[in-house]
């Protein structure tokens, strides 16, 4: 069993929809949680960064961490075609030695 599980999708939604992306994990020692966005044929870029449990909001993006359930989520409000990308969750115990999920492909249709 992988340490981090993420549904690969693809997830296809109409423009303006609310998108929910999720990851589950098995290692209770993880305390840093991140979401990276990767456009086609590009390197991943950091989208959201959370330490421990709770919510974090940045514009149309909200990251949630529930350590009791070992579950993290990324919500995208008012989704745009430019949000079409692969979204990778990542987490770590100490900071920068990350374990990534497989990535979810998101397609936002105009």
The SS3 call for residue 81 is helix
Which of 19, 98, 106, 108 touches other proteins by CB under 8 A?
98
Q: How far is it, in rounded angstroms, from Cα 28 to Cα 68?
A: 9
- Reading the block at residue 26, the tokens are 């098995």
Whether residue 97 contacts residue 1, with contact meaning beta carbons closer than 8 Å, is answered with no
Q: Is 97 in the site for other proteins (CB under 8 A)?
A: yes
Q: Is 103 in the site for other proteins (CB under 8 A)?
A: yes
Q: How far is it, in rounded angstroms, from Cα 40 to Cα 12?
A: 16
Q: Is 61 in the site for other proteins (CB under 8 A)?
A: no
Binding mask 29-48 for other proteins (x = CB under 8 A): ---x-x-x----xxxxxx--
Binding mask 65-94 for other proteins (x = CB under 8 A): -----------------------x-x-x-x
Give min distance, CB of 64 to other proteins, in A.
17
Question: Residue holding tokens 């409000």?
Answer: 77
CA distances from 95 to 11, 31, 81, 99 (A): 29, 8, 32, 10
User: What are the residues binding other proteins (CB under 8 A)?
Assistant: 4, 6, 8, 32, 34, 36, 41-46, 49, 88, 90, 92, 94-103
């Amino acid at each position: 069993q992988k340490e981090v599980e993420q549904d690969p999708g693809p997830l296809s939604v109409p423009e303006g929809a609310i998108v929910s992306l999720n990851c589950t994990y098995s290692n209770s020692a993880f305390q840093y949680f991140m979401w990276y966005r990767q456009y086609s044929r590009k390197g991943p870029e950091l989208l959201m960064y959370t330490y421990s449990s709770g919510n974090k909001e940045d514009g149309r993006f909200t990251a949630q961490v529930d350590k009791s359930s070992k579950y993290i989520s990324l919500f995208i409000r008012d989704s745009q075609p430019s949000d079409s990308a692969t979204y990778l969750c990542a987490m770590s115990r100490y900071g920068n030695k990350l374990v990534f999920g497989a990535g979810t492909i998101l397609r936002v249709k105009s």
